Amino acid sequence: MSNFPNLSSHGYQVVRQLGQNRAGGRVTYLAANLKTRQPVVIKHFQFAQTDASWSEYDNYQREIQVLQGLKHPSIPRYLDSFQTPNGFCMVQEYKKAPSLAVPRSFDPDEIKKIAVSLLEILVYLQNRIPTVIHRDIKPENILVDEKINVFLVDFGLARIGDGEVTMSSVAKGTLGFMPPEQLFHRHLTEASDLYSLGATLICLLTGIKSTAIGELIDEDYRINFKHLVPKLSLRWIEWLQKMVEIKPKDRYSNAAAALEALNPIYVMRVPEVKLSQSGLEFKAKKLGERVTQSIAITNSIPDTVLEGNWEVAPHESDPPHTPEEHSWISFDLDKFESNQSNCKIKVNTSRLMANKTYERQVLLHTNSLPETHAVTVKVQTAPIPIATKKLPYIFIASLVALALAGAWVEAEAWSGVVADSGSMGVVMAAFVTLFVAVFGVAAAVAATAAAAVASKLLAKNKIKFAALDTVVALFVTGIVALFVTGFGEQFRGASETVAGFGAVDLGMFITGLGAASLAAICLKRGFSTSLAVGVSLLATALGMSLGIGLQIGLLNPFVMLAVLAVGLPLGTMLFYPPFERARLISNYRKFEQHLIKS
C-alpha cells in the first residue's frame, strides 16, 4: 500500500516522490491531473509535523502571490492550491528536467548557454513593476533538461520590490549563495541575484557541489576559483569575478548589463600555438661543438596568454633525465608565459659520436589545445677522422726558393755599391732589399686576403666571378711591384754602378706574385686568413734571409737570427694542422666509449 497522500478529492493522483525538505516540512510529488492526465508538480507543505513550522506558511503564500503574476516559459506556471488535513498543497506546471544539484557534465559553452538563459529570466523579473528579486538562486532551484532548456523554480523567498529585508528573514537563503548584503541585512538591489547566479555558475564550472562552495571562499569572503579553470578565457573569468564581487556597486548593475557583457565572450578561448618551424636541423663543423637553433612561438588569440614549458621526449639511447634537464639538449626558456617568445634550443655534440645523425623529439607543453606539440630535432655531428686540410708544402718550398733567388740576385746587384761604400753600403743594400721585398710581398698578400673576402661577399649575394681573388691579387701585386721598383732605382741613384738595377727588382715582383698565390691557395683549402697570410709572409722572409745569407755568409749572426726568427714560427704553422687533428682525434677516442651511440 502506498504511503503517498490521497489527493483524488482535489483532482490529482500522486505518481511518485520527487524530493523532500524536512526542515521546511515540504515534500514534492509528481502527480497527474485526473481530468487532463497532464503531469503536474505538487508541493505538499506538512506544517503539522513536529519538525516543521507554520511560520513557513508565509513563504508559500508569498510564492503563490509572486507566481500568479509571472508568465515566462522558463518559470513553471502556478496552477492550483488547496489545504489538506495536515498542511497545504501548491500545484505547478511540470518540467521534465533535473536540477543542477544532480551531478552532470556540461561543457563550458553549455554552461554559458545556461547563464544566458538565467540572465534572460532575471531580466524579465527585473523589468516587472515592481521588480521581483528571487533571493534563493542556487543549483537546487535551477532545472535543466537534455536540450539545455533552463527553468527557475522555488520562489518561496522571493520579494516584490527592493529595499531592506526584515530581521525575521535575514538568515533565510543559502549560505555561500547569498550575497553579503542579504546575509548582513542590507539593502537589496537588482545586483543581489547576480551574486547568487555567479556562485551557481562557478559551481558548475569547477565541479564543486553546492554544499561545498564554502571551500572556495577565502578570508576576505571572496570566491577564489580561477586556479580551478585554467582553460577558460580571461574575459569569461573576469565576467564571473565581477558577478560575485562583495560590494553590489562593483557588480553589474542589473541582469541586462550582465547579459550584454556576457554575449560577446568566448568561454573556451584557449591560446593557439604557432611554431616558426616544425623541425630543426643542427650540423656541427667541429668535434664537440655546441650548436644552437631558434624557434619562434606565437599566439594570436585575443584575451588569452600562452603558457608553456619545454621537455625532451624520452629516448632509449639517452641517460635518464628530468623535464628540466637533459644530457645534451637544453633550452634557454624552460618555461615561459608570453604570446610571443623566441626559444633557443642548444645541442652539446661533445656527448655524441662523430659522423652520425641523431633524431630526437622535443615537446612543448602548453595551455592550448592540443596541449602538447612535438618538434623534431636532427643533429649531424662532425666527421671523424677529422677532415684533413693539407698545406701546399711543395708550393711553400717553391716560394722559399723563389724568394731566396730573388734576394740573392738583389744582393748580388748591390755588390759593387758594397765594395765602394764598405759597411755603409751593406746596410743600404740590406735595407733597400728588405724594403722592396717585404713591402711588395705584404701588399700582395693583403690584396689576396681582401680579394678573398670580396669573393665571399659576392658569393653570398649569388654573384659568381671565377678566381676573383687571384685576379685582384695579381693586379694589385703588379702595381705595388712597379712602385717598389721605381723606389729602388731612385734610392740607389742613376750612376753607372747601379745602372739596370730596376730590372733586378723583377725578381721581387715575381716573389710577390708567388706569395699572393700561396695565400690564395691556403684560403681556398679552408685555412684561416691569419694562417694563410702568415705562411706566405714567413716563407718569403725565410727565402730572403737565406738569399742574403748566401751573399754575406750564412754564419753571420744577423743572418742566423733572421733565419731562426722566421723559421721557427713557419715550422710551427706548417706542423699545426696535423698536430691539431691528432690532438682532436686522441681526445675523441678517449671519450668515445662514454658517448651516446645513436
Over 70: is that where the pLDDT of 411 sits? no
Over 90: is that where the pLDDT of 12 sits? yes
Model confidence at 564, pLDDT cuts 50, 70, 90, reads confident
Task: Judge if the upstream peptide bond of residue 76 is cis by omega within 30 degrees of 0.
Answer: no
Instruction: Give the mean model confidence (pLDDT) for residues 236-249.
Output: 94
Model confidence at 24, pLDDT cuts 50, 70, 90, reads low
pLDDT tens, residue by residue, 258-311: 999 999 888 877 788 999 988 999 999 887 889 999 999 999 887 778 889 999
The pLDDT assigned to 499 comes to 38
Instruction: Give the mean model confidence (pLDDT) for residues 167-180.
Output: 69
Q: Which residues contact 51 (CB under 8 A, 6 or more apart)?
A: 22, 23, 25
Model confidence at 172, pLDDT cuts 50, 70, 90, reads low
Question: How many Å is the Cα radius of gyration of the chain?
Answer: 48
pLDDT tens, residue by residue, 55-111: 566 667 778 888 888 999 999 999 999 988 888 899 999 999 999 999 888 988 899
Over 60: is that where the pLDDT of 332 sits? yes
Model confidence at 491, pLDDT cuts 50, 70, 90, reads very low
Instruction: Give the mean model confidence (pLDDT) for residues 464-492.
Output: 47
Q: Yes or no: is domain 108-262 CATH 3.40.50.300?
A: no
Over 80: is that where the pLDDT of 466 sits? no
Over 60: is that where the pLDDT of 445 sits? no
* C-alpha–C-alpha distance, residues 488 and 436, integer Å: 7
Amino acid letter at 31? Answer: A
* C-alpha–C-alpha distance, residues 157 and 97, integer Å: 22
The pLDDT assigned to 553 comes to 75
Model confidence at 167, pLDDT cuts 50, 70, 90, reads very low
The pLDDT assigned to 431 comes to 53
* Percentage of residues of the chain with pLDDT beyond 70: 76
The pLDDT assigned to 302 comes to 77
Q: Which three cell numbers stand for residue 441?
A: 710581398
Report long-range pairs for 339-342 (Cβ below 8 Å, ≥24 apart).
Answer: 339/271, 339/298, 339/299, 339/300, 339/304, 339/305, 339/306, 340/296, 340/297, 340/298, 340/299, 341/296, 341/297, 341/298, 341/306, 341/308, 342/294, 342/295, 342/296, 342/297
The pLDDT assigned to 428 comes to 53
Model confidence at 33, pLDDT cuts 50, 70, 90, reads very high
Residues forming beta bridges with residue 341, ordered by sequence position: 297
Contact 142, 76 (CB under 8 A): no
Identify the weakest region by mean pLDDT among 11-15, 220-224, 407-411: 407-411
Pairing verdict, β 279-283 and 372-380: parallel
Pairing verdict, β 187-188 and 163-164: antiparallel
The pLDDT assigned to 496 comes to 37
The CATH architecture one would assign to domain 8-93 is: 2-Layer Sandwich (3.30)
User: Domain 274-380 in CATH: superfamily?
Assistant: Immunoglobulins (2.60.40.10)
Q: Which residues contact 533 (CB under 8 A, 6 or more apart)?
A: 445, 446, 448, 449, 519
CA 292 to chain centre: 16
3-state secondary structure of 338: coil
The pLDDT assigned to 48 comes to 61
The pLDDT assigned to 169 comes to 45
Structural domain boundaries of the chain? 8-93, 108-262, 274-380, 393-583
Q: What are phi and psi of 594, to 5 degrees?
A: -95, 0
Which single residue is written with the C-alpha cell 547579459? 259
Over 80: is that where the pLDDT of 49 sits? no
* Percentage of residues of the chain with pLDDT beyond 90: 33
The pLDDT assigned to 375 comes to 93
Instruction: Give the mean model confidence (pLDDT) for residues 240-249.
Output: 94
DSSP 8-state code for residue 572:
H
Model confidence at 162, pLDDT cuts 50, 70, 90, reads low
The pLDDT assigned to 470 comes to 47
The pLDDT assigned to 484 comes to 46
